[in-house]
Amino acid sequence: MAEKSFKYVILGGGVAAGYAAREFAKQGVQPGELAIISKEAVAPYERPALSKAYLFPTGTARLPGFHTCVGSGGERLLPEWYTEKGEDLEKLSFTRIELLLNTEIVKADVPSKTLVSAAGETIKYEILIIATGSTVLRLTDFGVEGADAKNIFYLREIDDADKLVEAIKAKPNGKAVIVGGGYIGLELSAALKINNIEVTMVYPEPWCMPRLFTAGIAAFYEVYYSNKGINIIKGTVASGFTSDSNGEVKEVKLKDGRVLEADIVVVGVGGRPLTALFKGQVDEEKGGIKTDGFFKTSVPDVYAVGDVATFPMKIYNEIRRVEHVDHARKSAEQAVKAIMSTENIEEYDYLPYFYSRAFDLSWQFYGDNVGETVLFGNDDPKAENPKFGTYWIKDGKIIGAFLEGGSPDENKAIAKVARVQPPVESLDSLSTEGIAFACKI
């Protein structure tokens, strides 16, 4: 097959690819210099929509509505943007940014700067940005009995979401079991409940979202979800599945001996960064590809961004890997500036940021969730407009802040608190003052 050659190649077609493409355009990339390689069939889009409005029965999100970079309030990069941006169409003889969709790369040879697709196509590059993201952990990977039954879903790509939408339509008033109590578990439980599906969440931990939530924060969401009619089972895992004569899932067997009826199962038990193509070719650390503050890897002309990058987190003076859309966007922009900019740019100085929306709830978190905690505000799950939060205090300073139901200004205030890390004299007075403390910083 013919060989293709580009000055810049972005490997991966997710959020990071879209934001990198926009930054390349800002920095003056020339027509034909840049290619984006994606195994998906569509141009880069805002992945968080898949667990939210994509599944809603009304106000449903569909492409082209959530192509990047609309998620951060920017211009929506429609598929034609990649070919038409800044071009006189009458003189257009080649693509400005080439989208190589439906293209899975099966081999990467870093020394020869070559990628090989499943179809046998060879793609050469001068500079590579690895933006491969994560893959979901599947129960079949752990040998769970019956985990290959039909209507057991994972959510990572738009194809996954389409299959889940079809199942929701095919099983009106059906029963769903959500395996996992993290982001996917909480957001999909809400989305399925809105579709009049009977929902049970199952997770092994003592409370939901344990990597971020304290027991106090989690208690609010668990009661709120229970009040919405969602059944929550904690402290056990799905150990097997039975299926009907059509091969569709029928029951979920739990390790504690209980058996749950299910027409639909959605599994959200974590992900794994997609680094296998580069094993032994670039330095790795903490499960990701090690980079510096400009997202350069150990190999010249190779960069890694988003979920796959393990980078220096300046604010905490340590190396970390972050799986979140906000970091995917910002790290992609940082890498392109480092590649293209003629001016000196600052090292990446990232403040961790996470958020979620479900039902009428919306929370944001900034900073680090270590140290002592102070819960404040109205965390009554039955309240009409609950607004509450938590500060994390380490060495006498606030280093993290969480807020449910905050206004845009209040959310900016907790971000500033996490960045500035003000000292705290009294935890009791901090609890009393609550969000007002952040707003005066």
For residues 185, 190, 194, 197, the Cα torsion angle rounded to the nearest 10 degrees is 40
For residue 375, is pLDDT > 70? yes
Q: Which of helix, strand or coil describes residue 400?
A: strand
For residue 89, is pLDDT > 50? no
For residue 92, is pLDDT > 70? no
For residue 95, is pLDDT > 70? no
pLDDT digits (tens, 9 = 90+) for 215-260: 999 999 999 999 999 999 999 999 999 999 999 999 999 999 999 9
State pTM to two decimals.
0.96
For residue 91, is pLDDT > 60? no
Cross-strand partners of 358: 361
Kindly indicate the confidence band of residue 343, based on its pLDDT and cuts at 50, 70 and 90. Answer: confident
C-alpha distances in angstroms, 164 versus 50, 56, 152, 261, 342?
10, 12, 9, 18, 46
| Residue whose structure tokens are 């799950």 | 381
Q: Which percentage of the chain shows pLDDT scores above 70? A: 97
DSSP letter for each residue of 410-431: HHHHHHHHHHH--B-S-HHHHH
For residue 90, is pLDDT > 70? no
Look at residue 334 in the predicted model and tell me its pLDDT: 98
Task: Work out the average pLDDT over 186-210.
Answer: 98
Q: Which percentage of the chain shows pLDDT scores above 90? A: 96
pLDDT digits (tens, 9 = 90+) for 352-367: 999 999 999 999 999 9
Kindly indicate the confidence band of residue 94, based on its pLDDT and cuts at 50, 70 and 90. Answer: low
All structural domains of the chain, each given as residue ranges with its CATH number in brackets, are 3-135+272-340 (3.50.50.60), 139-269 (3.50.50.60), 360-439 (3.30.390.30)
pLDDT digits (tens, 9 = 90+) for 35-83: 999 999 999 999 999 999 999 999 999 999 999 999 999 999 999 999 8
For residue 421, is pLDDT > 50? yes
Rg (CA), the chain: 23
Distance CA 41, CA 55 (A): 20
Q: Which of helix, strand or coil describes residue 317?
A: coil
How many Cβ atoms from other residues are within 10 Å of residue 162's Cβ?
A: 12
Look at residue 85 in the predicted model and tell me its pLDDT: 60
From the list 347, 327, 336, the residue with the least C-alpha distance to 10 is: 336
For residue 88, is pLDDT > 70? no
Work out the burial of residue 378: count CB atoms within 10 Å of its CB; fewer than 13 is exposed, 13-18 middle, 19 or more buried.
middle
From the list 367, 347, 381, the residue with the least C-alpha distance to 420 is: 367
Distance CA 402, CA 418 (A): 10
The secondary structure element, H or E, covering residue 194 is: helix 183-194
What sign for the dihedral angle of Cα 14, 38, 30, 278?
positive
Cross-strand partners of 135: 272
Task: Work out the average pLDDT over 167-174.
Answer: 96
